Amino acid sequence: MDIRLTNDLHGTDACVRVERGSLELSRRQVRRVKRKLCGSTRCACSGPLGLRGLQRYDAETVFEFVPRQDGSGYLQMVRRLSGWSD
């Protein structure tokens, strides 16, 4: 399953492929996404994955990135939005 991650400050996005039912990201995926969303080491626009803005899995589900000490991490559901529209 592919998930699109975004940084709304820079207007960048990156897709990651995860196994269905798992939202785990490897160290390699984390490094690639961070470089693509915000490659600057001095920029303070985002957290450890380069995400900024709502990260939606679908129209109603919002996720955040939870890093691990080894450089990998996972996406965790934060909340379900009801009646959300752009």
Q: Domain map of the chain by residue range?
A: 2-80
Strands, sheet with 24-25, edge to edge from the N-terminal-most edge strand:
24-25, 73-80, 61-67, 55-56
Answer whether residue 85 shows pLDDT above 60: no
Q: Whole-model pTM?
A: 0.80
Query: CA–CA separation, 61 vs 54, rounded Å?
Result: 10
Q: Please check whether residue 44 is in contact with residue 59, taking contact to mean a CB–CB distance below 8 angstroms.
A: no
pLDDT score recorded for residue 20: 78
Answer whether residue 40 shows pLDDT above 70: yes
Q: Please check whether residue 32 is in contact with residue 73, taking contact to mean a CB–CB distance below 8 angstroms.
A: no
Of 39-48, 50-59, 74-83, the least confident:
74-83
Query: CA–CA separation, 80 vs 86, rounded Å?
Result: 15
